[in-house]
Amino acid sequence: MYEVEMKVRVDHDRIRTRLAELDAVPTGTVRQIDTYYDHPVRSFADTDEAFRIRREITTTDTATEERDTTRVTYKGPLVEAESKTREELETTVGDEDTFAAIVEKLGFEPAATVEKTRERFQCDEYTITLDTVTGLGEFLEVETESASIAPAREGVVDVLSRLGFTPDEQIRRSYLGLLLESSES
């Protein structure tokens, strides 16, 4: 399965009207804390891969209860130049601390942490996300999962264009890459 995605920098207040015009359905807001790991014998930066543990905190409708979920994700290298498409493998983990300890015992080392708040919307089979990333600012992502890349990419481009953006405006770097790049300058 591939995650087909395009991301642009955007002012969230400006885009909300467009989301309403598309009849995008709000599906909730989550806070995510992603810890990325370095492989013990190869450089993920060189191979364009990523391995992370994600803690996701979802506030329920009552705004008094929170639900925690932890997932582990492997992301393969980008597979095409037209979008930010990668193979993605993901599963839930029952005990974040124990899993992190196992990963570190196997030689993986924490490399960086990315924190963001994500406001999600659904538009047909596409997820539209307004991301506020600590240290980077506001972004819009349009994504879908598919076994077939080209039709999925065309659909993502269509949604992105209906929101007022072109594929030429997309950012193909991950938030991790953008954060690391900004810390080097």
pLDDT tens for each residue of 86-104? 999 999 999 999 999 999 9
| pLDDT exceeds 90 at position 81 | no
The enclosing domain of 97 has a CATH number of 2.40.320.10
Q: Which domain holds residue 164?
A: 2-184
Please report the pLDDT score of residue 60 as a whole number: 62
Residue pLDDT, tens place only, 22-77 = 999 999 899 999 999 999 999 998 999 999 999 999 876 555 557 789 999 999 99
Phi, psi of 98 (to 5 degrees): -65, -40
Give me the active site residues, please: 36
Please report the pLDDT score of residue 141 as a whole number: 97
DSSP code string of the chain: -EEEEEEEE--HHHHHHHHHHTTPEEEEEEEEEEEEEE-SSS-HHHHT-EEEEEEEEEE-TTSS-EEEEEEEEEE-----SSS--EEEEEEE-S-HHHHHHHHHHTT-EEEEEEEEEEEEEEETTEEEEEEEETTTEEEEEEEEEES-HHHHHHHHHHHHHHTT--GGG---S-HHHHHHHHHH-
Residue 121's nearest CA partner among 111, 113, 131 is: 131
Asked whether 167 and 160 are in contact (CB, 8 A), the reply is yes
Structurally, the chain folds into a number of domains equal to 1
Residue pLDDT, tens place only, 107-149 = 999 999 999 999 999 999 999 999 999 999 999 999 999 999 9
